[in-house]
Structure 1
Amino acid sequence: MGVTRQDTTAGGEGTVPPGGRLHPVADTLGYLAGRWRVERTVYDLSQDRNGTFSGTACFTRREQPATGLLHAERGEFTWGGVTRPASREHLFEPAGDGAAFVRFADGRPFHLLDLRGGHCLADHPCAEDVYRGEFSVLTADRWRVVWTVRGPAKDLRLVSVHHRI
């Protein structure tokens, strides 16, 4: 049911709890709803460089045009010693049985997200690159996502840890 290996690339914050146990949730959208502090490290593996993002992610209820959540992330991204404002948005829609379907802000499909077992893998092709996400619910108030991006244009690893505010 759970991932047993440890991933300490986020400064230890993203490690799986002792015993490798993850935290299953009954309803993905219900779990995500609310406000989260986000700490992210972005590794460019092809250039042996990294950057950081620090900010908040708010998952707020949507009523129209469809039910679900609006994910709005805001913060600062530091790369090469330069810090700039950064933001992004996604739409999270009910996918039945407690799972969610994630879309980009413009409505294009992104991936399915099912946290009922405490863990989910998701793939997303983007041009010739492939994004692979690994989502882990660590506690009732902490979850992690690791995106690995591989292809001719990118060789990245993004490790994000979310703490409920």
Structure 2
Amino acid sequence: MLLPTDLLGDWDLARTVDDRAAGVRGIVTGRTTLSLTGPDEVRWDESGVMRFGGRETPVSRTLLVRRGADAHWSVHFIDGRVFHDWVWGAAVEHACAPDDYTGVLTGDARRWTVRWQARGPAKDYRLDSVLTPAA
């Protein structure tokens, strides 16, 4: 099992986006950086370009991965809300009514993946992200 502190540094990001509800596929290419911001916090910054439905749009997001008093790590949105537990190789869930999100983190320190599926009345998509050491 990898911890967020095992993945510090810069990563090339390649993400496929399959929006089944809209019948559109796209890609995101860019950079992900994981940096230690304290003994119990890793900042996860993503930036890149999304090519989707014939358009190009800059995209970015920031997450915080925090270690709690129980030594378990969890992923938080930048506003502090919990996104999901940091669990390596097993499914995690994020309830965001009216849709359900299921994700999984897998791989190793040379190539890791993040997969999310969203299903419900408002969304039906899959995101597959592959992260490799930045060139």
Runs of 4+ in 1 over 2 A off after TM superposition: none
Structure 1 counterpart of 2:5, from 3, 22, 30: 30
Partner AA of 1:82 in structure 2 = R
Aligned-residue offset at 1:145: 1.3
Please name the residue that 1:127 is paired with: 97
Aligned-residue offset at 1:29: 1.9
Mapped partners of 1:56, 1:81: distance in 2: 22
Aligned-residue offset at 1:140: 2.4
Residue 163 of structure 1 aligns to a residue in which SS? strand
Identity of aligned residues (%): 34
Partner AA of 1:126 in structure 2 = C
Gaps of 5+ in 1: 1-23
Mapped partners of 1:80, 1:48: distance in 2: 9
Mapped partners of 1:75, 1:52: distance in 2: 10
8 Å contact from structure 2 (residues 118, 124) kept in 1: yes
Residue 153 of structure 1 aligns to a residue in which SS? coil
Please name the residue that 2:80 is paired with: 107
Structure 1 counterpart of 2:32, from 43, 47, 57: 57
Please name the residue that 1:156 is paired with: 125
Flag the structure with higher strand content: 2
Structure of higher CA gyration radius: 1
Gaps of 5+ in 2: none
Partner AA of 1:131 in structure 2 = Y
Partner AA of 2:80 in structure 1 = G
Please name the residue that 2:14 is paired with: 39
Number of paired residues?
A: 133
8 Å contact from structure 2 (residues 45, 62) kept in 1: yes
Aligned-residue offset at 1:90: 0.3
Please name the residue that 1:85 is paired with: 58
Mapped partners of 1:121, 1:46: distance in 2: 23
Mapped partners of 2:78, 2:86: distance in 1: 16
Q: CA RMSD in A?
A: 1.5
